Amino acid sequence: MTRKRVGWIGAGRMGAPMAERLARAGVDLAVWNRTRAKAEPLRSCGAAVVDMVADLRECDVVFTMVATAADLDQVLGELLGDGTSAAGAVSVGSTGSRPGVVVDCSTISIEQSAAARQSCAEHGVAFLAAPVSGNGKVVRAGKLSLVVSGPRDVYDDVADLLGYLGRSVTYAGEGETARLVKIAHNLLLGVVTQTLAEITVLAEKGGVPRHAFLEFLNDSVMGSAFTRYKSPAFVRLDYTPTFTPVLLRKDFDLGLAAARALDVPMPVTALTAQLVQAAVASGRVEEDFAILLDLQAAASGLELKPEDVAVDDGLGS
């Protein structure tokens, strides 16, 4: 079997560790990032770093992991040969080479994903939507989850590459079904975090140390990989960002729009969306969305203090 040439676009907080996993698996990988310096460390893992998106046109498969749909539109324009570069220079016409498959791991709307798929189809390029569950730390621990939609034969052809990225890959069907799965996932992410904040504050205001309550919860039938993972932030009040309130608000907007389109009432989600908006309005937009705990404590008349105790995050770190 011929070894696939793989391109990667986006070496940010998520993209860099995901690309690293491919490189360390021995994949023939070339990486582009708007700020080249962020991609350079991947050389030590065996990846090449290229100067332009157009340099990836001869790859068999190109992964994209970018922040917004506008970013995806721009890089696809350059990759497919009809866009402009990040520096503003118009791409010189395509050499005739284009990747066979684009796999997009970004979080975008169903409509934006469909537009990207159509753009690829017009250039004879297959497209898979492959959003992920996790963050950089989860990626490095090998516990990332992916959900993928698009043509089944295309999925089967790149399944080996997807498998290098994390511990599980779920095929969700044709079209943009993977986008709806990811949006629904992130709605639950916000609702669970808000609920976790509420019950943690309740326990602490009643005299229970946060670490003791969360230890009990995590070892009970109600605990989960996520509650365990978020416990260190709650106990130590360490809000180093893994996912910001602004990004979570974007996903709530997408989720509630989907709910309206499908006539699904979501009263608990709608209320949580307002609490996420309050987190954004607090101005703490560069911190982790776990600041929902602080907002809940303030609303409850409780002053939180960090607890300097060891807490298992479930990632083996």
Where does the pLDDT of residue 95 fall: very low under 50, low under 70, confident under 90, or very high at 90 and above?
very low
Q: Which of 123, 95, 82, 102 is nearest to 7 (CA)?
A: 102
| Euclidean distance between CA atoms 32 and 259, whole angstroms | 36
In angstroms, the CA 298 to CA 303 distance is: 7
277 is a domain residue: yes
Q: What's the number of domains the chain is made of? A: 2
How far is the C-alpha of 2 from the C-alpha of 23, rounded, in Å?
17
Residues 143 and 235 reside in one and the same domain: no
* pLDDT tens by residue, 112-161: 999 999 999 999 999 999 999 998 999 999 999 999 999 999 999 999 99
Residues 214-227, mean pLDDT to the nearest whole number = 97
How much of the chain, in percent, has pLDDT values that exceed 70? 94
pTM given for the model: 0.88
In a domain, 309, yes or no: no
Same domain, 46 and 116: yes
| Domain final position from 116, 144, 175 | 175
Q: Domain of 74?
A: 5-175
Q: Which range (85-94, 142-151, 216-225, 239-248) has the least confidence?
A: 85-94
What residue has token string 């990846």? 47
